[in-house]
């Protein structure tokens, strides 16, 4: 049986997630239940959505440093406008997605570094969020709350949602022709251009799609937390980048894996729970998270080497 390189790419993130999960179950067997799993992975859904959004941007060789502030902005819109007058809320979201597309166009036309443009945008989104909600507050729309707290039979909502996100994005990015083109822009812009495709449209579309997933992330987050705050998701910028890398994605070359990205997001979420089960003092929690990140990446290097040795034999 021939294993594709894409599958190999997935084995490592999946193995690290399984290992971490096994460690959590070993330390806290009660987590091995419907409620336990739901609690463990609850916050993973918005992180997974943000990671998918970041992955799209990374697929075209760019990087979005405004992800955290943008998700915070979306959370604020959800908790205020979308809750009070859904029509205006939807309009704002459409505007935000259009803004993302516009960023893609500007970056492409002027050949600007995406890091800087999104850095500037992070101030803009942060400012808009502060204007909407100067202090924490707002209320989650009933349907978002219902969706995020619903209890499907046998499998917790968080797991169902993660699988749905992974499968939908997998078909969108890995199986559809648009997905091939998006990854093509990251792999070799020139050949996509020579083949007659409009790279500017592709980039705008990719950014818009990323904006769409980030909007979903904001809505999901408010569905879980019931209220919002201008700083609610600031750490998502770094979490989403780390999630893509953990999931086997690369910064350049259009090498991304949607299923891997979702698994990466789950791993990062689980790392937090793992540490609280280990009763590590709060002082060292952040540091231990960094250490876990390093260990997982070291594991990936080790497995990569193993794979290479197999190949050369």
Partner 1 sequence: MNTARLLFSRPWIWSFAATTVVWVVTVVFTGGASSLGLSQAALTFAAFSVIVGIGQMFVITLGPGNIDLSVPATMTLSGTLALKLMDVQDSMIAVGLLLSILLGLAVGIGNYVLIKLLRIPPIIATLSMSFIIQSTAIWANRGLRIKPPDILASFTTSNLFGIPNIAIVALVLSAVAWVLLEKTIYGRWISAIGQSTFAARMTGIPVDGTRLATYVLCAVLASICGYLLASFSGGAALNMGAEYLLMSIAVVVIGGTAVAGGNSNIPGIWGASLFMFLVVSMLNTYGFGAGFRLILTGLIIIAVILVAGGRQSNR
Footprint of partner 1 on this chain (CB under 8 A)? 65, 106, 110-113, 115-117, 119-131, 134, 189, 238, 241-242, 245, 251-252, 283-291, 293-294, 297-298, 301
Half-sphere exposure of residue 35, counting CA atoms within 13 Å on the CB side?
1
Q: How far is the CB of 287 from partner 1 (least distance, A)?
A: 3
Task: Assign 109 to helix, strand or coil.
Answer: helix
Q: How far is the CB of 127 from partner 1 (least distance, A)?
A: 3
The secondary element (H helix, E strand) that includes residue 240 is helix 236-246
Nearest residue to 271 (alpha-carbon basis) of 11, 12, 15, 21: 21
Q: How far is the CB of 293 from partner 1 (least distance, A)?
A: 4
Q: How far is the CB of 48 from partner 1 (least distance, A)?
A: 18
Residue whose entry in the numeric block shows the structure tokens 């993302």: 100
Q: Closer to partner 1 at the Cβ: 130 or 178? A: 130
**201-217 b/e (C-beta count within 10 Å ≥ 16 → b):** ebbbbbbbbbbbbbbbb
Which two structure tokens, joined as six digits, stand for 92?
Answer: 């704002």
Distance in angstroms (rounded) separating the CA atoms of residues 1 and 3 = 6
Q: How far is the CB of 262 from partner 1 (least distance, A)?
A: 18
Query: Are 60 and 186 spatial neighbours (Cβ–Cβ below 8 Å)?
Result: yes
Distance between first and last Cα of the chain = 17
Query: Are 144 and 161 spatial neighbours (Cβ–Cβ below 8 Å)?
Result: no
Q: Closer to partner 1 at the Cβ: 75 or 159? A: 75
Other beta carbons less than 10 A from residue 132's beta carbon = 19
Q: How far is the CB of 121 from partner 1 (least distance, A)?
A: 6
Q: Closer to partner 1 at the Cβ: 37 or 121? A: 121
Q: Closer to partner 1 at the Cβ: 161 or 240? A: 240
Residues in a beta bridge with 137: 228
CA 197 to mean position of chain CA atoms: 27
Q: How far is the CB of 199 from partner 1 (least distance, A)?
A: 11
Q: Closer to partner 1 at the Cβ: 148 or 239? A: 239
Q: Closer to partner 1 at the Cβ: 188 or 226? A: 188
Q: How far is the CB of 54 from partner 1 (least distance, A)?
A: 12
DSSP-based helix, strand, coil % in the chain, nearest 5: 80, 0, 20
Q: Closer to partner 1 at the Cβ: 155 or 252? A: 252
Q: How far is the CB of 124 from partner 1 (least distance, A)?
A: 4
Phi and psi of 137, rounded to 5°? 170, -155
Q: Closer to partner 1 at the Cβ: 22 or 301? A: 301
Other beta carbons less than 10 A from residue 175's beta carbon = 10
Which two structure tokens, joined as six digits, stand for 262?
Answer: 């979702």
Q: Closer to partner 1 at the Cβ: 208 or 245? A: 245
């Amino acid at each position: 049986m021939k294993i594709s390189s894409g599958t190999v790419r997935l084995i490592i993130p999946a193995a690290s997630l399984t290992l971490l999960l096994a460690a959590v179950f070993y330390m806290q067997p009660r987590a091995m239940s419907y409620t336990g799993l739901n609690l463990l992975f609850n916050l993973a859904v918005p992180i997974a959505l943000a990671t998918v959004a970041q992955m799209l941007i990374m697929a075209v060789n760019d990087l979005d440093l405004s992800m955290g502030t943008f998700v915070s902005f979306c959370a604020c819109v959800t908790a205020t406008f979308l809750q009070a007058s859904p029509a205006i809320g939807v309009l704002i979201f459409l505007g935000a997605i259009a803004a993302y597309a516009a960023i893609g166009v500007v970056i492409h036309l002027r050949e600007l570094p995406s890091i800087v443009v999104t850095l500037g945008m992070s101030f803009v989104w942060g400012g808009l969020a502060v204007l909407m909600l100067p202090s924490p507050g707002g209320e989650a729309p009933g349907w978002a709350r219902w969706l995020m707290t619903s209890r499907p039979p046998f499998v917790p909502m968080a797991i169902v949602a993660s699988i749905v996100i992974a499968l939908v994005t997998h078909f969108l990015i890995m199986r559809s022709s648009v997905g091939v083109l998006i990854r093509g822009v990251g792999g070799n812009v020139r050949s996509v251009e020579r083949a007659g495709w409009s790279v500017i449209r592709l980039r705008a579309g990719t950014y818009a799609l990323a904006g769409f997933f980030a909007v979903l992330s904001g809505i999901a987050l408010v569905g879980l937390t019931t209220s919002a705050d201008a700083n609610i998701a600031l750490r998502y910028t770094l979490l989403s980048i780390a999630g893509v890398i953990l999931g086997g994605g690369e910064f350049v070359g259009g090498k991304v894996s949607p299923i891997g990205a979702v698994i990466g997001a789950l791993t990062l979420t689980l790392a937090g729970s793992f540490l609280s089960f280990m009763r590590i003092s709060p002082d060292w929690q952040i540091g231990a998270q960094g250490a876990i990140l390093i260990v997982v990446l070291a594991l990936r290097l080790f497995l990569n080497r193993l794979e290479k040795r197999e190949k050369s034999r």
